[in-house]
Amino acid sequence: MRLLIAIIASISLLITEYRSERLLPLRATLSVFTDSLKYAVDLPVSLFEKTSNELASYNTLKKENTSLRQEQLINRMQLLKFDALEKENIRLRALLENSFKLGEQVLIAELLSINMVADEHIMVVNKGTRFGVHPQQPVLDANGVVGQVFRALPFSSEIMLITDPNHAIPVQVNRNGLLTIAVGSGMSNQLNLPYLPNNADIRPGDLLITSGLGGIFPAGYPVGVVDDFPETTNKSIPHITATPKSLLDRKRELLIVWSSNALMPLTAPLSKTPADNE
Amino acid sequence: MHSCPSPRHLAKPLQTMNNSYSAMRIFITLLVAMCLRIAPLPEILAPLNPDWVLLVLIYWSLAIPERVGIAHAWCLGILVDVLLGRHFGQNALIYSLIIYACLVWHRQLRQFPVVQQSAFIFLCLLLSQLLLFWFKNVQAAMQISGAFWLPILSGTVLWPFIYQLMRSIRRL
């Protein structure tokens, strides 16, 4: 009898969650308890990292400092150039009567070192709805796209990586703008490109960037590099794969991105740019 | 191998005496099991990580069946669903089914030698993994590698140790 009640209750819960979002508050409440467990499991690892940081010697810190400073100098220089290019791009797009997306806002989140389900590529970070994180937000790291927010809880959020077999990301080849979709392979260092015609102009070493189609990922972020594949001249389609740019299982800091969906008005950049350029 | 279960009339006064004490012990062991479930294991070991919560729950349902019921199993399953980010009800359904089987057969199971118990555990874990497999296929078409079934084996192999450990915790 009790078993029957339990089975009916579970199945009705399953169905309600498939159909609607009504159970989200319940999940959020229960997640306060489970998140404390997640933080507890993460604690030894983060403590170890913190203490090893504290114990780093003066010399290594100094070395790191100088190298970081140099890196920052180089980055800033590139950024200046990039700024000018962006302005120019906006102007040109305005001439073409095309809209342009504004810049993005980011939040730095730290990965919790826990294993969720072994065969799913889902990771947990320490920022949740209390910081305004919401599902489907893109997640990046310093090298490229990591994935998207899959479920946001009050104190943590689950991130589906681009390598998850259930994940697909619209990309384009940086060299020629060829559009396709990169599907996760289930392996942490591989993406599949199954939707390519066999005469597609794609070569090993091509950089794949987000195309901005689909409306979730902002355009222009690196996703991966096309792997070597045997050149075939006949009709057989080679199985083309790519290696993700981001270090999916090594990085601890991630960036959660708010891409403002407001498109820049067509006339505004022209009147604004002179003032901005100085 | 379990020592002969103490008759009810002997067990009762003892139970009421350290009721809260044993409840706390159950709670703590389950908490530790939940932590182990999400423990950051190296990549080779990660697919082997068995369902610790289910194993510990099976132990308690065999050891003190009068205190662990389907309702507990169901609530715990809901918590594990939140913990692992699954849809609500998956683990709840699995846990309540398996704990029901354990409660029905707990008398026989307690008399079994460890090997036979492990065989039963194997069947339980197989059932749970089969149900998870089914849920996954309903959710999304995805290839499931052979590694998906490994927790069944690791759980079965670990069961005798878990059993001994839990028994020493219960006798503490």
Q: Which tens digit of pLDDT belongs to each residue from B108-122?
A: 888 888 888 899 999
* Pairs from A4-11 (Cβ < 8 Å, separation ≥ 24): A6/B70, A6/B71, A6/B73, A6/B74, A6/B92, A6/B93, A6/B96, A6/B100, A7/B93, A7/B96, A7/B97, A9/B74, A9/B89, A9/B92, A10/B74, A10/B77, A10/B88, A10/B89, A10/B90, A10/B92, A10/B93, A10/B96, A11/B89, A11/B93
Give the residue on A whose Cα is nearest the Cα of B30: A37
Q: Which residue has the higher pLDDT, B127 or A253?
A: B127
Question: Whose CA is closest to B71, among B95, B53, B54, B55?
Answer: B95
Mean pLDDT of A236-253: 77
Interchain contact, B92 vs A6, CB within 8 Å: yes
* pLDDT the model gives residue A275: 42
| Confidence bin at A12 (pLDDT 50/70/90) | confident
Instruction: Give the one of B40, B79, B89 whose C-beta lies nearest to A14's C-beta.
Output: B89
**Taking the CB of residue A239, how many other CB atoms lie within 10 A of it?**
12
Instruction: Give the one of B39, B78, B145 whose C-beta lies nearest to A115's C-beta.
Output: B39
For the ranges A97-101, A187-191, A261-265, which has the lowest average pLDDT?
A: A261-265
Q: Which residue has the higher pLDDT, A52 or A259?
A: A52
* pLDDT the model gives residue A171: 92
Separation in Å, CA A184 to CA A144, A160, A171, A231, B16 = 15, 10, 13, 23, 55
* pLDDT the model gives residue A216: 83
Interchain contact, B142 vs A166, CB within 8 Å: yes
Nearest-Cα distance to chain B for A20, in Å, is: 12
* pLDDT the model gives residue A135: 86
**Cβ contacts (< 8 Å) between A10 and chain B: which residues?**
74, 77, 88-90, 92-93, 96
Separation in Å, CA A218 to CA A79, A103, A150, A257, A258 = 18, 9, 17, 9, 9
Give the residue on B whose Cα is nearest the Cα of A122: B85
Mean pLDDT of A230-254: 74
Separation in Å, CA B131 to CA A119, B90, B94, B104, B172 = 16, 8, 7, 20, 36
Instruction: Give the one of A6, A18, A118 whose C-beta lies nearest to B46's C-beta.
Output: A118
Q: Which residue has the higher pLDDT, A181 or A89?
A: A181
The percentage of residues in chain B with a pLDDT greater than 90, rounded to a whole number, is 19
Q: Which residue has the higher pLDDT, A63 or A212?
A: A63
Q: Which residue has the higher pLDDT, B24 or A267?
A: B24
- Report the first-to-last Cα separation within chain A, whole angstroms: 77
* pLDDT the model gives residue A194: 87
Nearest-Cα distance to chain A for B97, in Å, is: 7
Instruction: Give the one of A2, A27, A114 whose C-beta lies nearest to B40's C-beta.
Output: A114
| Residues from B in contact with A at Cβ < 8 Å | 31, 34-35, 38-41, 43, 46-47, 49, 69-71, 73-74, 77-79, 82-90, 92-93, 96-97, 100, 140, 142-145, 147-148, 151
| Confidence bin at A68 (pLDDT 50/70/90) | very high
Nearest-Cα distance to chain A for B9, in Å, is: 26
pLDDT > 70? residue A236:
no
**Cβ contacts (< 8 Å) between B83 and chain A: which residues?**
34, 37-38
Nearest-Cα distance to chain A for B47, in Å, is: 5
Give the residue on B whose Cα is nearest the Cα of A151: B85
Nearest-Cα distance to chain A for B65, in Å, is: 15
Instruction: Give the one of A7, A10, A38 whose C-beta lies nearest to B38's C-beta.
Output: A38
Give the residue on A whose Cα is nearest the Cα of B38: A115
* pLDDT the model gives residue B125: 92
**Cβ contacts (< 8 Å) between B145 and chain A: which residues?**
119, 186
Q: Which residues contact A184 (CB under 8 A, 6 or more apart)?
A: A121, A161, A162, A163, A164, A165, A166, A167, A168, A191, A192
Give the C-alpha separation, A256 to A159, whole Å: 10
* pLDDT the model gives residue A200: 79
Q: Which of the residues A10, A15, A18, A45 would you substitute to probe the B interface, choosing the one with the greatest number of B C-beta atoms within 10 Å?
A: A10
Give the C-alpha separation, A148 to A168, whole Å: 10
Give the residue on B whose Cα is nearest the Cα of A35: B83
Tell which A residues from 78 to 137 touch B, by Cβ distance under 8 Å: 113-119, 122
Provide the residue-wise pLDDT of chain B in tens; the chain has 172 residues: 444 444 444 444 445 546 777 788 888 999 999 988 888 887 778 788 888 999 999 999 988 888 888 888 999 999 998 888 888 888 899 999 999 999 888 888 888 888 888 999 999 999 998 988 888 877 765 666 777 888 888 889 888 898 889 888 888 7
* pLDDT the model gives residue A73: 92
The percentage of residues in chain A with a pLDDT greater than 90, rounded to a whole number, is 10
Interchain contact, A7 vs B96, CB within 8 Å: yes
pLDDT tens per residue, range A116-162: 776 778 888 888 888 888 888 888 888 888 899 988 888 889 999 89
- Work out the mean pLDDT of chain A and round it to a whole number: 81
